Homo-oligomer: A and B are copies of this chain.
Amino acid sequence: MKTFNIGELSEKSGVASHAIRFYERENLMPEPARTHSNYRRYPEDAIARLQFIIHAKQWGFTLDEIRELLMLQDANGDRAEAKRIAKKQLEKIRHQIQSLSRIEAVLSETLEECSGEGPMDGCPIVEAIAQKG
């Protein structure tokens, strides 16, 4: 089986060496084997684990949540737990979409109202922001 040191793993995974060490300190990556000169030696599946982390981050999971998911996997834990975490994430995302959509509606309407000409005094954009709510 092929093994890599941290620079190679960094290149293959797209995660900076320092970030990999950071994930190790944060218990997202397991402590790898070491060479006689104390260099980290990673097995191939470390690439997949880092890509899991990258992808979960893109989905908006925090490192705390990702750690939970990884620990569940490592312990081959209960699928119900993973579902609970993912459900919470889905609700968070739906909530964010709702908030942003409300803002999008008001902001785009306001932008149509504003000619973009003349002085700030009476500018619809500023007035829209000034309204409470």
Interface residues, chain A, with chain B CB atoms under 8 Å away: 48, 51-52, 55-56, 58-60, 69, 72-73, 75-80, 82-83, 86-87, 89-90, 93-94, 96-97, 100-101, 103-104, 107-108, 110-111, 114-121, 123, 125-126, 129-133
Contacts and interface: CB of A to CB of B under 8 A. Distances in A.
21 contacts: A52-B126, A52-B130, A55-B130, A55-B131, A55-B133, A60-B100, A60-B103, A69-B126, A75-B120, A76-B119, A79-B114, A79-B117, A79-B119, A79-B123, A82-B120, A82-B126, A86-B125, A89-B107, A90-B111, A93-B104, A94-B104
Contacts of A52: 126, 129-130
Contacts of A103: 58-60, 93
Given A55-B129, A55-B130, A55-B132, A86 B73 contact: no
Contacts of A90: 104, 107-108, 111
B116 A73 contact: no
What copy number does this chain have within its complex? Answer: 2
**Nearest 6 pairs between A and B by C-beta?**
A83-B116, A80-B116, A86-B125, A79-B123, A97-B100, A90-B107
